[in-house]
Chain A
Amino acid sequence: MKYRSVFDIIGPIMIGPSSSHTAGAARIGRVARSLFGRQPKWANISFYGSFAKTYKGHGTDVAIVGGLLDFDTYDERIKTSLQLADSLGVSISFHEEDAITDHPNTAKVVLGDEDGELELVGISIGGGKIEITELNGFALKLSGNHPALLVVHDDRYGAIAGVANVLAKFAINIGHMEVSRKEKGKKALMTIEVDQNIDDKVIQELSALPNITQVTKIVD
């Protein structure tokens, strides 16, 4: 079931005019920001399908930039996010893409600063609900509705068990989990949606495990 909560249907509270093209876009931007962990210096945003055709009318551009500036769907500052980004020294560029994507409302965000880059693909599936489908080239499926852990690790035996053991030790229940890799034996990504919020202590312990490269958490 894609929609699990009544508040996916009655909600979100948001700035108009479109739940998929405005609120959903803001959420995609905000997940990118949250994964990056800080305000980026630049962002290249590509719109596909219906997003590409109608982003100006729906305020998709201001909404996704609002998300990159860490604004929620109901934050009035969304309306002036392009000017705000400019004054904060965040350089933004938009691209309309012709490529056919699996979902009509698809956006790709590449953002970064002098210390790093992040590439993310998100889809807006209706009513403001989104899914993240790609992160730094790894395919994944992340709803952004639950606290989640993203663990980049070496594609070796025991890596997943090690992570699961640490979560069990802290009494954190896994609601949904996926593993994705680009190539056998190289880097892989675990996407773990959990029911409880995750302490920094858990992150530290996970990061110290063998074969673990990077651990990021997303709060809901």
Chain B
Amino acid sequence: MFRNVAELIEIAESTNKKISEIMIEQEMEFTGKSREDILAQMDKNLEIMEQAVERGLEGVKSVSGLTGGDAVLLQKYIEKGNFLTGKNILDAVSKAVATNEVNAAMGTICATPTAGSAGVVPGTLFAVKNVLNPTREEMINFLFTSGAFGFVVANNASISGAAGGCQAEVGSASGMAAAAIVEMAGGTPDQCAQAMAITLKNMLGLVCDPVAGLVEVPCVKRNAMGAANAMVAADMALAGITSRIPCDEVIDAMYKIGQTMPTALKETAQGGLAATPTGRELEAKIFGVPLQKGD
């Protein structure tokens, strides 16, 4: 069983296997389930992700009315063709947003690694799918590679916004996605780890400050940028760029930053954007609470 990224890479390299394969084998060993059962379970998750993206691209609105419809706006913008960044990156952003808009509307999603950060992994997967034309099995493998890196973060740091801030949620999701993109694009296990490290470094310190305590503002747009971050970091790693700080040490830094982060910035809706005048006003409007609450 691998306990950190270094061990994961070492096992993959010494056995000449992909990270997704190492994760599948560990799951078989841990659960005693057959490979077919494990792949079928992940296939079911993939199906749910696909449906959530589709539903989001049709346009949804959350109960509070704070979020919804941005995925559609972005797809229309891409179709016009006058974008400044790139089609694939915007497609990933749109599909990440689609998933989180469905989540905010209390729709059915697959947590990756959490519900608040559920957009990044499927968003990037269904965008790179159009570029790399993977088989269904390769798409399932994308989720196992994401899962392998998330597994390390969850066990050595945290994937909970209440415990570690948004860096632990969207940060982890983005790193997981970056690593999985690299594997799907034919990169080495080490390049996967580099992509994870590069992504997570750019998410360190990100606080969890949901307006009115709802997983909407800024969560949906953080998933958008998480997807963009993952796409760029994957390209950087595939170009041969490495992280000066090893992946495991970046994860450890994230954990320590989370521990020292004030409670007001860890999913309590008491600080950051939640405590802005507009954030408070929205909260009052949605729940009818007095405005003098907190600071």
Contact = CB atoms under 8 A, between A and B. Distances in A.
A9 B163 contact: no
Interface string B144-162: 1011101100110011111
Nearest to B283: A57
Nearest to B31: A5
Interface residues of A, number: 44
Contacts of B213: 53-58
Contacts, number: 172
Contacts of B23: 6
B113 A15 contact: no
A54 B270 CA distance: 10
Contact of B114 (A15, A54, A56, A127): A127
A20 interface: yes
Given A5-B31, A50-B268, A17 B116 contact: yes
Contact of A16 (B41, B42, B115): B115
A13 B269 contact: no
A48 B106 CA distance: 23
A10 interface: yes
Given A20-B160, A104-B263, A125-B160, A10 B146 contact: yes
B104 A16 contact: yes
Interface residues of B, number: 62
Contact of A126 (B44, B45, B148, B168): B168
A47 B116 CA distance: 20
A29 interface: no
A48 B110 CA distance: 26
15 contacts: A1-B155, A4-B30, A6-B26, A9-B112, A10-B113, A10-B144, A16-B102, A16-B115, A19-B114, A20-B161, A57-B287, A79-B106, A104-B267, A126-B163, A128-B114
Interface of B: 1, 3, 23, 26-27, 30-32, 41-42, 44-45, 48, 64, 102-116, 118, 121, 143-144, 146-148, 150-151, 154-155, 158-163, 168, 176, 210, 212-216, 263, 266-270, 286-287
Nearest 7 pairs between A and B by C-beta? Answer: A54-B213, A126-B160, A57-B213, A16-B103, A9-B150, A17-B215, A6-B147
